[in-house]
Amino acid sequence: MPAAADLLATDKRPRLSHVWRREASDHYVEPRWVSTRLFEVEDFDRSHVLLDPCTGFGRIADAAKGAGYVVIAADIADRGYPGCHLEDFLDRKSMPPTVVGNPPFGAVEAFARHALNLGAIRVALIFPVARLNAARWLKALPLRRVWLLTPRPSMPPGHVIVRGEKPGGGKVDFAWLVFERGYVGSAELAWLHRDRAAP
């Protein structure tokens, strides 16, 4: 009979995930389906202007425009998206009714609070699922829905996309956090599948 160590050694699978160097300004790029699917299941009121505060390469802004929204594209750095305003979101003094973005994950709380404090009605932000159970700050905000993204999207740093690499094998689960001004109650938990089918 083989030793336990021998069994373990033969049962290992190859690691298919990537470990990339950290990106300046925490610019990580979501797959296009992540925002396209959000705009298929959430109605942010097309009569309102929608702000993408971390436009990056414009994937959320493009999906919003494709879904019929009037979009303001903004970012703290120029990443080449046409018409993108350079600004620090946390320095904004006014806020449109709708904010949808992929901010640095360590700043999601600050982004949500700032948007809601300045009058945003609906706010949707990408957040790592593993951080949810420690995010006690969510209790104080009007969190309406959590959309768990499936299959797990790979969100590589911007420089990987610029080099033309094909991301895959992501090892972090993500969700959309959707906040709604005035909402009181428990957040709804749902799955947002890339292929529109139940996971």
Domain of residue 91, residue span: 26-193
The answer to whether position 18 is within a domain reads no
The answer to whether position 80 is within a domain reads yes
CATH of the domain at 147: 3.40.50.150
The answer to whether position 124 is within a domain reads yes
The answer to whether position 2 is within a domain reads no
Q: How many CB atoms lie within 10 A of CB 40?
A: 13
The answer to whether position 44 is within a domain reads yes
- What are 102-135's pLDDT values in tens digits? 999 999 999 999 999 999 999 999 999 999 999 9
Sign of CA dihedral 92, 31, 141, 179: positive
8 Å CB contact between 93 and 139: no
Q: Specify the pLDDT at position 197.
A: 60
Mean pLDDT, residues 133-159 taken together: 85
The answer to whether position 96 is within a domain reads yes
Q: At 32, list the tokens.
A: 């296009």
The answer to whether position 187 is within a domain reads yes
Q: Total domain count for the chain?
A: 1
Under the banding of pLDDT at 50, 70 and 90, the label for residue 152 is confident
Whole-prediction pTM value? 0.83
The answer to whether position 17 is within a domain reads no
